[in-house]
Amino acid sequence: MRYIYLAIPLAPLFGAIIAGLFGRQIGRKGAHTVTILGVGISFVLSLVVFNHTVIGGAEPFNEALYTWMVSDGMRFEIGFLVDRLTALMITVVSFVSLMVHIYTIGYMHDDPGYQRFFSYIALFTFSMLMLVMSNNFLQLFFGWEAVGLVSYLLIGFWYTRKSAIRANLKAFLVNRVGDFGFLLGIAAVAMYANSLDYAEVFSQTPTLATQSISIWAGSEWSVVTLICILLFIGAMGKSAQMPLHVWLPDSMEGPTPISALIHAATMVTAGIFMVARMSPLFELSETALSVVMVIGTLTAFLMGLVGVVQNDIKRVVAYSTLSQLGYMTAALGASAYAASIFHLMTHAFFKALLFLAAGSVIIAMHHEQDMRNMGGLRKYLPITFWTSLIGSLALIGFPGFSGFFSKDAIIEAVHASHLPAAGMSYWLLLISVFVTALYSFRMFFLVFFGKERMDEHTRHHLREPPWVVTFPLVMLAVPSVVAGLVVGPVLFGDYFGGAITVAGAHDVLAHLGENYHGIIGFILHGIMAPPFWLAMAGLITAWLFYLYRPEWAETVKRRMAIIHGILERKYGFDEFYALVFAGGGRAVGRLLWRIGDVKLIDGLMVNGSAKTVAWISSRMRHLQTGYLYHYAFAMIIGLLLLLSRFLFE
């Protein structure tokens, strides 16, 4: 199995190298063939690993494959940890990535950067696979930074657009903030555990739990709390949690396939996975868990509200991603790691489906993305329509669809948590269910129903995109419906085994499992629970305001202009960062230029030294008169001084 584990990440890497370095020689067909083949091999081998590890019940594989160096007893290695959590992640990542690769053939068909794009997305897949398969913090950090690098390249793929360059620079800078905290957390792990290997670090948790650190005079912090919060700051950047969320909506400047890949299976899920993997550490700090829960809840609620006022079809789905990531993060804070990973899996399917369906609409509309210029598309795009409906129902948690099981489990888990923030989080997550249904079906109704608002030329050319676009939609629609059926073993069984650690006092899923009586019972209970009725209320509200009485939406917009303005400005985060950090950075730069460059370096050191030399030379030149008696006098004085030294010694 060792060679199978090694082939899973290396197959996409091989495809990326061939398409990237030899794209001109192999052409477009060769580029997409070699990268799809590489990712396809990863997916097939992931299924083999899933069968071996999960169905076959094999013991976890945890070995170092390469030792880079050893310093002061600390080993820097490349190695794999393949357990049930890893098996699930690599299967989801490789499957979604394979569908995105196939879809890209149609979406990027006429793009001059075709080969380069395939190279990038295959490299993206390799980076994420290396991250989730790592058994140590060094390799985790490699994958962490690699997905950040490739996302930078992909968001700014259309580098001739100023908006794309701004977006990828924004993503790069915001993630550097999170990654700085992440790196400090890894450094703290290395400092106190003297190891970067997961197993060795986790084995020292009893010792780490008793240690404290003084960050500043008079303050004592638990070492574990500090490590967890620093690691979570990294997760806030990668998984776009407030206030480090601002890069994710702007990532829509990249082509739609990469939007699907970033938002569904790679990059943003890295932070969720990392916290779940670090559960042995997080379980030792209720302070850290509370921080995680609060941040996740606020992100789920506040970002969902922003999605309601968006008109760009891709940005609606982007803010939906932010909100759903908030759900996953809140679940992590409630110690419901299994529920968070379960929602990560179901969300990967239906969110990739929604993004690719949005891309299908964009292709049909000749790259028009404003929903106000759409309408009535269901009769022109039947496959896109039905798959979008499936994705939307899964997103809002309609009974029987995959999102229903995972989202309801998260809400109930937070409700059962004993953390101080659990009460507020529960109610905000409940309200977020209504908000999710409202923005989801607002988008669905504006795009596929109502009056046709496009121009005549666009209407005349409306047709379903080719099969390479619609086939991935159908394939992703299937797990969007049925993936939730494994809720029993994943949430209430021992699916994850030792891959996830939960303290007895925090095991909310065990409490929920006492009342679990199968899929049918789960559905029947869900139909009677508040989330279902809130979702239906949101759906009906969307129908009333955007189909039945569209003028009501305009009336509400006018009467709530202040709130609408706040939501349109996204709470002013961008303006605040531009003013305080970007503007402050420029102001500090100007100050350093005026004082440091102009006055100190140029004024004092460069020009000042030149003026000093000029002043001294201007005085010294008066000593050179050209008169012989002046020189004779100077020689006599010098001789007298020399003699006096010898006489008085």
Burial of 613 (0-12, 13-18, 19+ CB in 10 A): exposed
Which residues are CB-neighbours of 440 under 8 A, at least 6 positions away?
320, 392, 395, 396, 538, 542
Q: Is the peptide bond before 206 cis (omega within 30 degrees of 0)?
A: no
pLDDT digits (tens, 9 = 90+) for 251-276: 888 888 888 888 777 788 899 999 99
Which tens digits make up the pLDDT trace of 557-574? Answer: 899 989 999 999 999 998
Task: State yes or no: pLDDT of 41 exceeds 80.
Answer: yes
Residue 630, amino acid: H
Neighbouring C-beta atoms of residue 339, cutoff 10 Å: 31
Query: 160: closest CA among 253, 230, 67?
Result: 253
* Number of neighbours of residue 36 by Cβ within 10 angstroms: 20
490-501 confidence digits (pLDDT tens): 888 888 888 898
pLDDT at site 649: 60
Say which residues have a Cβ less than 8 Å from residue 282's Cβ, sequence separation at least 6: 228, 275, 288, 289, 292, 332, 335
Scored b (16 or more CB within 10 A) or e, 63-88 reads ebeeeeeeeeebbbbbbbbbbbbbbb
Q: What is the largest CA-CA distance in the chain?
A: 120
3-class SS string, 346-365: HHHHHHHHHHHHHHHHHHHC
Give the model confidence (pLDDT) of 44-82 as tens digits: 999 999 999 998 888 999 998 888 888 877 888 899 999
The dihedrals phi and psi of 82, each to the nearest 5 degrees, come to -115, 100
When pLDDT is averaged across residues 452-480 and rounded to a whole number, the result is 89
What is the chain's alpha carbon radius of gyration, rounded to the nearest angstrom? 30
What gap in Å lies between CA 640 and CA 649, rounded to an integer? 14
Contact between residue 499 and residue 198 where contact means Cβ atoms under 8 Å apart: no
Closest Cα partner for 383 from 447, 449, 473? 473
Three-state secondary structure call for residue 208: helix
pLDDT at 230: 94
- Sequence length of the chain is 649
Q: What is the pLDDT of residues 268-303, one digit of tens each?
A: 889 999 999 999 999 999 999 999 999 999 999 999
60: its two tokens: 């976890």
Q: Is the pLDDT of residue 431 over 90?
A: yes
pTM above 0.85, yes or no: yes
Looking at the predicted structure, is the pLDDT value of residue 411 above 90? yes
Q: What separation in angstroms does the CA of 527 have from each of 389, 522, 524?
A: 19, 9, 5
pLDDT over 80 at 88, yes or no: yes
For residues 552-559, give the mean pLDDT.
89
Would you state the structure tokens that stand for residue 573, as one six-digit string? 């985060």
Identity of the amino acid at 536: M
Residue type, 136: N
- Rounded Cα distance, 591 and 605, in Å: 18
For residue 596, count other CB atoms closer than 10 A to its CB.
Answer: 13
* DSSP code string of 434-468: HHHHHHHHHHHHHHHSSS--S-HHHHHT--PPPHH
- Residue 371 scores a pLDDT above 70: yes
CB 298 within 8 A of CB 242: yes
Residues 6+ apart with CB under 8 A from 437: 396, 534, 535, 536, 537, 538, 539, 541, 542
Structure tokens at 111: 């793009």
Helices (H), ranges, 529-627: 530-543, 551-559, 561-568, 573-576, 583-592, 607-620
